[in-house]
A and B are shown apart, each in its own frame.
Chain A
Amino acid sequence: AQKVTQAQTEISVVEKEDVTLDCVYETRDTTYYLFWYKQPPSGELVFLIRRNSFDEQNEISGRYSWNFQKSTSSFNFTITASQVVDSAVYFCALSERYRDDKIIFGKGTRLHILP
């Protein structure tokens, strides 16, 4: 069955520190998709990245980077030189291509960036 585990419930770091948010997933499919979403204090949900199971290349977007490792079923998210505006809840999510069109979200990691 699908499962997404974000073991870190809450993290606090001081501004300018690097921080990594962990995401571990379980799936029986060989074709699947992984996502990260951000929910700032204002409450909206914002898409950050999508990755399919055949693309293990790491991705970098400004201060954000993602490390996808199929061998450990992980899709971790790193923020470099964190800023106060990065304070939010971050959700990792999984969908499987050939089973159905459900989406499973992790429980989220609340990130506090302290000034």
Chain B
Amino acid sequence: EAQVTQNPRYLITVTGKKLTVTCSQNMNHEYMSWYRQDPGLGLRQIYYSMNVEVTDKGDVPEGYKVSRKEKRNFPLILESPSPNQTSLYFCASSSSGAAYEQYFGPGTRLTVT
């Protein structure tokens, strides 16, 4: 089954404790992306990747890191989480860039206390 998976689905952590949210897709997609969803703000793009070892900032990259060492995986790293990073996070992939439909993962709800 074609899908994008994210882990964990729910996470409660404390300020400053490094964490990683994993994202994996099995569709051989080149483009992968991370978004955060906050009430009243919609979906905002954090980082995206056009291919292995190619990443770029979206609109809200501060406080986040990403890496793309393999085509199927695109982890989101929060080196020192803060309460303003409490949000619902979505990973997505598409066959060829932002011009094509995005396939979204199920979301990760992160709470930073």
Contacts and interface: CB of A to CB of B under 8 A. Distances in A.
A8 to B, nearest CB: 13
Interface in A1-49: 6, 9, 33, 35, 37, 43-47
Contacts of B35: 105
B97 A101 contact: yes
B100 A50 contact: yes
Contacts of B50: 101
B45 interface: yes
A33 B101 CA distance: 10
A97 B100 CA distance: 11
Contact of B106 (A44, A47, A50, A52): A44
Interface string B77-112: 000000000001010100001111111101100000
Nearest to B90: A45
B44 interface: yes
A100 to B, nearest CB: 7
Contacts, number: 64
A43 B107 contact: yes
Nearest to A47: B101
A91 interface: yes
What is the interface residue range for chain B against chain A? 20 to 34
B58 A102 contact: yes
Interface string A90-105: 0101010100111111
B33 interface: yes
Given A43-B106, A101-B50, A101-B56, A106 B99 contact: no
Contacts of B2: none
A47 B92 CA distance: 11
Contacts of B90: 45
A102 B104 CA distance: 16
B45 A102 contact: yes
5 contacts: A46-B104, A91-B42, A101-B50, A102-B48, A107-B40
